[in-house]
């Protein structure tokens, strides 16, 4: 399957997604943003729910969204300062270097053909003290490994780690390498680990060795490498 066939197939799959998919409030990403009146670029902004909340609580004075699914982008335009309808992999952004205080990539990188290239492209828009915030699913999560090891099962679904529109899959090690190769310095790496009591016990008694298998995804806060 060549590049254009992949894009056509993915576009068809994206059209079948529920509109609810584009309506999530990402409180986890909001909590990663510090300070007030930031200029924020939200990649894959959906209907603008998260960006709108950032403006409401004062963490953002300007939110620019990028969304390739046009029906969602049209709704986002009613909430955000500006919405660019297009694919961040090919879209040219009309902003100067260092314009944004934060760039958000909420479950976006796994949908890209070349996430490293996109990170390298985006980092120039970060201010000197700015941060890139990303959430990325973890393919070494125990539920995925269980199905693969014991049932020879790798079944794509509508949402989640094996979302049918995902093109890339990451472990903790590979996503750290992705950011390093993109010349971004990781300042914080937060696992989305199960809060169940048994999970906490397993992490404690394994001295943290099982942590990566009990984590469904990671939140990353990164900055430009200034060295």
Model confidence over 132-146: pLDDT tens digits?
999 999 999 988 988
Provide the CATH number for the domain formed by 3-19+34-224 in this structure.
3.40.50.150
Q: What is the per-residue pLDDT across 164-213, written as a single tens digit (0 to 9) for each?
A: 889 999 999 999 999 999 999 999 999 987 555 445 555 555 545 567 88
Output the pLDDT for position 214.
81
**Coil, helix or strand for 49?**
helix
Output the pLDDT for position 3.
47
pLDDT-based confidence at residue 159 (cuts at 50, 70, 90):
confident
pLDDT, average across residues 5-12: 54
Output the pLDDT for position 226.
81
Q: What is the per-residue pLDDT across 94-129, written as a single tens digit (0 to 9) for each?
A: 999 999 999 999 999 999 999 999 999 999 999 999
Q: What is the per-residue pLDDT across 24-54, written as a single tens digit (0 to 9) for each?
A: 899 999 999 999 999 999 999 999 999 999 9
Cβ-in-10-Å burial (0-12, 13-18, 19+) of 172 comes to middle
Which one has a higher pLDDT value, 84 or 19? 84
Domain boundaries, the chain: 3-19+34-224
Helices (H) and strands (E) in the chain, counts: 8, 7
Output the pLDDT for position 197.
47
- The residue behind tokens 């576009």 is 11
Q: Tally the residues of the chain.
A: 227
Q: What is the DSSP string of 125-190?
A: TEEEEEEEEEEEE-TT-HHHHHHHHHH-----BSSSTTBTT------HHHHHHHHHHTTEEEEEEE
The answer on pLDDT for 4 being more than 60 is: no
The answer on pLDDT for 155 being more than 70 is: yes
Output the pLDDT for position 192.
84
Average model confidence (pLDDT) for the chain?
88
């Amino acid at each position: 399957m060549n590049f254009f066939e992949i894009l056509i197939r993915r576009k068809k799959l994206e059209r079948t997604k529920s509109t609810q998919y584009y309506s999530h409030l990402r409180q986890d990403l909001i909590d990663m943003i510090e300070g007030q009146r930031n200029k924020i670029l939200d990649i894959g902004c959906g209907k603008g729910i998260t960006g709108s909340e950032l403006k409401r609580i004062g963490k953002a004075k300007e939110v620019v969204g990028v969304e390739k699914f046009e029906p969602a982008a049209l709704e986002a335009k009613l909430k955000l300062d500006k919405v660019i309808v297009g694919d961040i992999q090919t879209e040219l952004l009309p902003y100067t270097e260092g314009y944004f205080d934060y760039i958000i990539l909420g479950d976006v990188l796994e949908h890209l053909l070349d996430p490293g290239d996109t990170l390298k492209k985006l980092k120039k828009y970060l201010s000197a003290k700015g941060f890139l915030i990303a959430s990325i699913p973890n393919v070494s999560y125990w539920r995925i490994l269980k199905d693969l090891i014991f049932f020879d099962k790798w079944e794509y679904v509508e949402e989640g780690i094996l979302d049918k529109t995902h093109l890339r899959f990451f472990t903790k090690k590979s996503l750290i390498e992705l950011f390093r190769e993109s010349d971004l310095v990781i300042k914080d790496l937060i696992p989305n680990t199960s809060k169940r009591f048994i999970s906490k016990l397993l992490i404690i008694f394994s001295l943290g060795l099982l942590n990566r298998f009990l984590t469904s995804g990671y939140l990353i806060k990164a900055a430009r490498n200034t060295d």
